Chain A
Amino acid sequence: MATVFLIGFGHPDSMRLLEEMKARSREHDFRNIPDSPGEPPQPGDKHSSVALIWCPRSVEEAGSLIAQSVANGLPTVALLHDSVPPRIDFSGGHVELSFAPTSSAEALARTELVLARARGPREGNLITHGDLVIDPDRYEVRLAGRAVELTFKEYELLRYIAARPGRVFSREALLRAVWDYDYFGGTRTVDVHVRRLRSKINDLRYQFIETVWNVGYRFRSTGEPNDG
Chain B
Amino acid sequence: MTQLHDTKQRDISEEAIRFALFSAHEHDVRFIRLWFTDILGTLKGFAITIDELEGVLRSGASFDGASIEGIAREGEADMVAMPDPSTWQILPWRPRENAVARLFCDIKTASGEPAETDNREVLRRALRRAGEMGLTYYVAPEIEYYHLRSSDDPRPHDSGGYFDQSSDSAGADLRRQTVLALEEMGIPVKHSHHEVSDGQHEIDLRHTNALTMADSIVTFKVVVKEIAAQSGGYATFMPRPFAKSNGSGMHTHMSLFDGDTNVFYDPDAPQSLSVKARQFMAGLIRHSPEITAITNQWVNSYKRLVPGVEAPVYANYTSGNIADLVRVPSYRVGKEDSLRIEYRAPDSACNPYLAFAAILTAGLEGIEQEYKLPELITSDPSIMSEAERRKHGVVDLPATLDSALKIASESKLLRKALGTAVMDSFIRNKRIEWAEYSRTVTDYEISRYLKLL
Where the two chains meet, the residues of A that have a C-beta atom closer than 8 Å to any C-beta of B are 120, 124-125, 136, 138-140, 149, 151-156, 159-160, 163, 171-172, 177-189, 192, 195-196
Q: Could you tell me the distance in whole angstroms from the C-beta of A122 to the nearest C-beta in chain B? A: 9
Tell me, in angstroms, the Cα distance from A22 to B310 when the chains sit together. Answer: 84
B257 contacts which of A179, A180, A187 (Cβ < 8 Å)? A187
Query: Given A163, A171, A180, A189, which contacts B208 in the complex, CB threshold below 8 Å?
Result: A189
Complex Cα–Cα for A8 and B426 (A): 82
Return chain A residues, CB-CB under 8 Å to B2: 120
New contact pairs (11) apart from A151-B86, A186-B257, CB-CB < 8 Å? A120-B3, A138-B26, A139-B22, A140-B22, A152-B19, A184-B124, A184-B211, A185-B212, A189-B208, A189-B209, A195-B188
Interface centre among A171, A184, A187 (most CB of B within 10 A): A184
The answer on a CB contact under 8 Å between B88 and A152 is yes
Residues in B whose Cβ lies below 8 Å from that of A189: 208-209, 212
Task: Knowing A151-B186, A187-B257, say if A156 contacts B12 (CB, 8 Å).
Answer: yes
Contact yes or no, A138 B22, CB < 8 A? yes
Evaluate contact between A186 and B209: CB separation under 8 angstroms.
Answer: yes
**Which residues of chain B are near A136, meaning CB under 8 Å?**
5
Whether A160 contacts B3 in the complex (CB less than 8 A), given A152-B16, A184-B124, A192-B208, comes out as no
User: B16 contacts A125, CB within 8 Å?
Assistant: no
Query: Count of B residues near A, CB < 8 Å?
Result: 42
Which one, B1, B12, B19, B257, contacts A181 given CB within 8 A?
B12
B376-417 at interface with A (beta carbon < 8 Å):
none
Chief secondary structure at chain B's binding surface = helix
Q: Is the CB of A177 within 8 A of B138?
A: no
Decide: A184 and B26 in contact? CB cutoff 8 A: no
Q: In the complex, are the beta carbons of B131 and A151 less than 8 A apart?
A: no
Question: What are 22 sample pairs from A and B whose C-beta atoms fall under 8 A apart?
Answer: A120-B1, A120-B2, A124-B3, A125-B5, A140-B22, A149-B184, A151-B86, A151-B89, A152-B15, A156-B12, A156-B19, A172-B260, A177-B7, A178-B7, A180-B12, A183-B131, A184-B127, A184-B137, A187-B257, A188-B138, A188-B208, A188-B337
Q: How far is the CB of B419 from chain A (nearest CB, A)?
A: 18
Question: Which chain B residues border A139 with CB–CB below 8 Å?
Answer: 18-19, 22-23
CB contacts (< 8 Å) of A178 on chain B: these are 7, 12
- Judging by beta carbons under 8 Å apart, are A185 and B12 in contact? no
**CB < 8 Å neighbour of B19 from A155, A171, A183, A187:** A155
Contacts of A140 in B (CB 8 A): 22, 26
Q: For the complex formed, measure the closest distance between the CB of B91 and the CB atoms of chain A, giving whole angstroms.
A: 13
CA–CA, A175 to B12, complex, Å? 12
Instruction: Tell whether B42 is near chain A: CB-to-CB under 8 Å.
Output: no
Q: Is B439 on the interface with A (CB-CB < 8 A)?
A: no
B186 near A196: Cβ-Cβ < 8 Å: yes
- A181 and B85 form a contact (CB under 8 A): no
| A125 and B211 form a contact (CB under 8 A) | no
Which A residues are in CB contact (< 8 Å) with B138?
186, 188
Partner of A152 from B85, B124, B137 at Cβ < 8 Å: B85
Query: What 8 A-B pairs are tightest by C-beta distance, nearest first?
Result: A186-B136, A120-B3, A139-B22, A151-B186, A184-B127, A136-B5, A152-B19, A139-B19
